[in-house]
Amino acid sequence: MEYKYLTKEVIEKIEYFKNKYLTKEQAIIPSLHTIQEIYRDIPHEAVRELSDYLKIPEAEIEGIVTFYDMFRFEKKARNHIRLCRNLPCHLAGSRKFLRMLEKLTGAEAGGHSPDGKWYIELVECIGSCAIAPSFLINYDLYDGSSIKSEEDLKKILERYD
């Protein structure tokens, strides 16, 4: 994985924390402080990179960012859609689903809508393969297989401000 936010400088600090503490988990918080100091907030992509670098699940690091008031995620949009891109969801039609999402929100995968309402992110398995193609809007989980038309999806999107 190529890193955008984990620059050489950031990685040197992470290595310092890894050596200083007994477990790599203990390096998460100081590493997040470093990222936030440099970027002013914590980009979601930086969490993914940190997860990859430390070999710690992304959800664990995200949980820490969300739990502590001292950390703030980069605000990309008012609502964050995460659509699974792994094989079971792909086979169940996540690509087609993405096209519908993009059309209805005006956002593209990896970007936000011009009105700042939506941000779409393609993510790894979110543990809901039984309802593939599955997706989250903020923290609400949806069963993509139950959405049969653009109209169904539109009704869901309308629940969000």
Stretch that binds ligand FES, among 114-122, 129-137, 140-148, 153-161 (CB under 6 A): 129-137
- Using rule CB under 6 A, residue 132 touches ligand FES: yes
Q: What are φ and ψ of residue 112, in 5° steps?
A: -115, 160
Which amino acid belongs to residue 27? A
Which member of 30, 43, 88, 93 binds ligand FES (CB under 6 A)? 88
Segment holding 112, helix H or strand E: strand 111-112
Which member of 10, 65, 89, 153 binds ligand FES (CB under 6 A)? 89
Residue 158: Cβ within 10 Å count: 9
| Burial label, 27 (beta-carbon count in 10 A; 0-12, 13-18, 19+) | buried
Query: Binders of ligand FES: how many residues, by CB under 6 A?
Result: 10
Distance of closest approach, residue 140 Cβ to ligand FES, in angstroms: 15
Distance of closest approach, residue 95 Cβ to ligand FES, in angstroms: 13
- Using rule CB under 6 A, residue 81 touches ligand FES: no
Which member of 104, 125, 156, 157 binds ligand FES (CB under 6 A)? 125
Closest CA to 44 of 57, 68, 62: 62
Stretch that binds ligand FES, among 2-10, 46-54, 80-88, 148-156 (CB under 6 A): 80-88
Which member of 109, 126, 136, 157 binds ligand FES (CB under 6 A)? 126
Closest CA to 80 of 46, 119, 125, 135: 119
Distance of closest approach, residue 129 Cβ to ligand FES, in angstroms: 3
- Residue 22, classed as helix, strand or coil, is coil
HSE at residue 68, side-chain half, CA atoms within 13 A, is: 15
Binding-site ranges for ligand FES (CB under 6 A): 84, 86, 88-89, 125-126, 128-129, 132, 134
